[in-house]
């Protein structure tokens, strides 16, 4: 069996990095839709919800926020893996697409962590502010 070429692995790593970047934003879209649905069920009503139903919606919102935070972290872990591997292969191939990418400023990982922290705090606050 022939040994795979570094260029083939580089192309595969690049495709995988794109896949996980796309997956990251697809997850965010699903999260936003679920959260909006829960907020709508909780606050947009002509008749007040029973206390237990409101509490269940808040718990579901908190659970979904934690679940999607974990999904985002795992997705970014895979993305970093493939980008790092592509950067390693660039040394052999003479490419510089991944090895010279900018690193300054707030990372998208930290921005997403902050976003989910705010959503989690919102759901926790909803237990006390809207009993």
Indicate whether 110 belongs to any domain: yes
**Structure confidence at residue 7 (pLDDT):** 94
pLDDT in tens, 46-73: 788 898 999 999 999 999 999 999 999 9
**Structure confidence at residue 1 (pLDDT):** 39
Average pLDDT over residues 92-101: 92
Indicate whether 41 belongs to any domain: yes
Q: Is the pTM of this model over 0.75?
A: yes
Indicate whether 52 belongs to any domain: yes
The rounded mean pLDDT for the chain is 93
Range of the domain at 15: 6-129
Indicate whether 73 belongs to any domain: yes
Indicate whether 117 belongs to any domain: yes
What three-state secondary structure class fits 113?
helix
Which residues in 6-101 belong to E strands, given as ranges?
Answer: none
Indicate whether 1 belongs to any domain: no
Tell me how many domains the chain contains.
1
Indicate whether 49 belongs to any domain: yes
Indicate whether 17 belongs to any domain: yes
* In the predicted structure, residue 3 carries a pLDDT above the cut 80: no
d(CA 31, CA 67): 9
List, as own/partner pairs, every contact residues 57-61 make where C-beta atoms lie below 8 angstroms and the sequence separation is at least 24, other chains included: 58/123, 58/126, 58/127, 61/35, 61/123, 61/126
């Amino acid at each position: 069996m022939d040994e795979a070429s570094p260029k083939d692995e580089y192309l595969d790593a690049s495709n995988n990095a794109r896949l996980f970047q796309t997956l990251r934003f697809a997850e965010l879209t699903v999260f936003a839709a679920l959260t909006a649905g829960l907020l709508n069920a909780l606050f947009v009503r002509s008749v007040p919800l029973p206390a237990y139903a409101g509490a269940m919606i808040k718990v579901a919102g908190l659970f979904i926020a934690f679940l999607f935070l974990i999904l985002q972290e795992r997705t970014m872990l895979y993305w970093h893996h493939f980008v790092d591997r592509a950067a390693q292969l660039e040394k052999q191939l003479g490419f510089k697409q991944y090895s010279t990418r900018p690193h300054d400023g707030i990372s998208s990982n930290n921005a997403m962590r902050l976003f989910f922290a705010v959503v989690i705090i919102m759901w926790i606050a909803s237990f006390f502010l809207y009993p």
